[in-house]
Amino acid sequence: MKVAVVGTGYVGLGTTALLAYFGHQVMGLDIDQDKVDMLVRGELPIYEPGLGELMAECGDRLHWTTDYSAAIPDADVIFICVGTPPLPGGQPDLRYLAAAAQDVARHLNGKMQVVVNKSTVPVGTGDWVARIIEENAPDYKQHQYNVVSNPEFLREGTALFDSLYPDRLVLGGNDGAGVARLLELYAPLIEQDFQAPAHVPRPQGYTRPEVVATSLSSAEMIKYAANSFLALKISFANEIAGLCERVDADIEEVARGIGSDARIGRQFLSAGAGWGGSCFGKDTSALISTGEEYGYDMPILRAAVAVNQSQRQLVIAKLQKHLHRLQGKRVAVLGMAFKPNTDDLRDAPAHDAIARLNELGATVVAHDPVAMPRARREWGHLNYTEASSAAAALIGADAVLLMTEWKDYTELDWNGAVRTMRQPLVIDTRNALRCAIPTATLEQIGRRGQSQVSQHQISSSQVSPSQVSSEQVAPQAKK
């Protein structure tokens, strides 16, 4: 088929690559000329492992444009994958979706075409998009254009694996013709009869995804409900972790014990600094906001959001427990992206930690193996200095916050690195370090006895901030 994909963010790029890999002719469209120019040159505007390699395998089946008239008229299926960021009140901002739907409608050509909403949107948005098409499409006729909801369930960092081998495929429509066309479009994915990419092999025992065909409104609700439930599991684990610290239990052992119950499952029971990224915070807020519109309170989701916010405060509280006043202290922050294997900084716990450290008068040195260039563009309001490596960030530090569980950090020679610190205090907010650091005080979340791993303290005379060279820390502070 001929496919148009509007939007070249995480979802849009993954959709274009997936469908082109399956043999369809795909044109990705974005109004940002710079992003399109990058893609034409074979460069990616985001970091996602393996995506570039998959696109390279698509050859001439994949094209890029900023012109709706070049992408929409001949397309059999049109995906809308634009952002729906949260407004101050928690409702999603649908301006970009409305603009895209209007431009798509104006370029429909009269044949049977399917418009697929892949953006995360409130219940009822599909019907609204259908009205936009009805009002803006030339020579509109009923049943000529079908609107389908096909929400994505990708995890950044493993987006290709999640796209090629999904648990389920949700297709929501009020007209069977639209869903039928998507079933045809996704046939290679459903039947799993495509040759698996060498760098994303098919997992052993995987057969095929479950196809969930629903109404438009149910498909939209599935997306919000799924993300909200996962956010709830994380907040529950964090709340239990807080109690574990007080009763001398270990959250890792508790999570393993309850996660072994098939009714609960082990995923998303990891305690830490709280969830971040573009989905959980936005989707829980949107669902709460939808409830308010109908006079329906959602106290469980409100509690999940509150627990998540408290986890970010807990990180600073653990610092203060050991350092007391943070004024004038030097704190290393390892990890800026909200999770490993992505450069996405949206709602990242590290952002809140750096902001709070700024308020308390601490000096911040930060490092991330991938996200620092993006942080220069998006975190200009924060005050921190870049380090060239994780080891360089620790030199002369009074404490280190491990905020993202990058492999670079879990495999760091911690015993050697902490010897360069002024005070060897490690706050592992992701419970990523699996063994003790004999020469340091290690604090984790909900772990039993971690803060008393060692009574050995390195003398502050071993290192001073003046020993940090200009080659190890970038000269400019981010303000």
Is 202 labeled as ligand-binding?
Answer: no
- Residue 110 in marked binding region: no
Task: Answer whether 460's CB lies under 8 Å from 423's CB.
Answer: yes
Q: Virtual CA dihedral for 84, 85, 86, 92, nearest 10 degrees?
A: -10
Query: Is 180 annotated for ligand binding?
Result: no
Annotation-wise, does 106 bind a ligand? no
Tokens 């592992």 correspond to what residue?
428
Q: Is 244 a catalytic residue?
A: no
Known binder of ligand: residue 276?
A: yes
- Residue 162 assigned as binding residue: no
**In 10 A of CB 224, how many CB atoms?**
23
The answer to the question of whether 271 is labelled as a binding residue is yes
Q: Is 120 annotated as a binding residue?
A: yes
Confirm whether residue 76 is marked as ligand binding. no
d(CA 472, CA 385): 11
Q: Is 42 annotated as a binding residue?
A: no
Residue 430 is given by DSSP the state T
Q: Is 346 annotated as a binding residue?
A: yes
Is residue 229 annotated as involved in ligand binding?
no
Backbone dihedral region for residue 453 (phi beyond 0: left; psi -120 to 50: alpha; all else: beta): alpha
Task: Say whether 57 counts as a known binding-site residue.
Answer: no
Give the bridge partners for 145, in sequence order.
113
Lookup result for tokens 């380090």 = 387
Could you tell me the CA-to-CA distances from 433 to 197, 387, 388 in Å, in that order? Answer: 32, 21, 21
Q: Is 272 annotated as a binding residue?
A: yes
Looking at the chain, the number of H-run helices and the number of E-run strands are: 18, 15
Smallest CA-to-CA distance from 400 within 370, 363, 436, 372 is with: 363
Helix axes 125-136, 95-106, angle to 10 degrees: 40
CB 398 within 8 A of CB 329: yes
Q: Binding residue per annotation — 319?
A: no
84 is in an annotated binding site: yes
Take residue 113 and report the two structure tokens written for it.
């075409």
Catalytic residue among 58, 81, 244, 279: 279
Would you say 168 is a known binding-site residue? Answer: no
Residues contributing to the annotated binding site: 30, 35, 84, 120, 153-156, 223, 268-272, 276, 282, 339, 346
Instruction: Detail the residues annotated as belonging to a binding site for substrate.
Output: 153-156, 223, 268-272, 276, 339
Which residue ranges are tagged as binding site for NAD(+)? Answer: 30, 35, 84, 120, 156, 282, 346
Supply the residues annotated as catalytic: 279
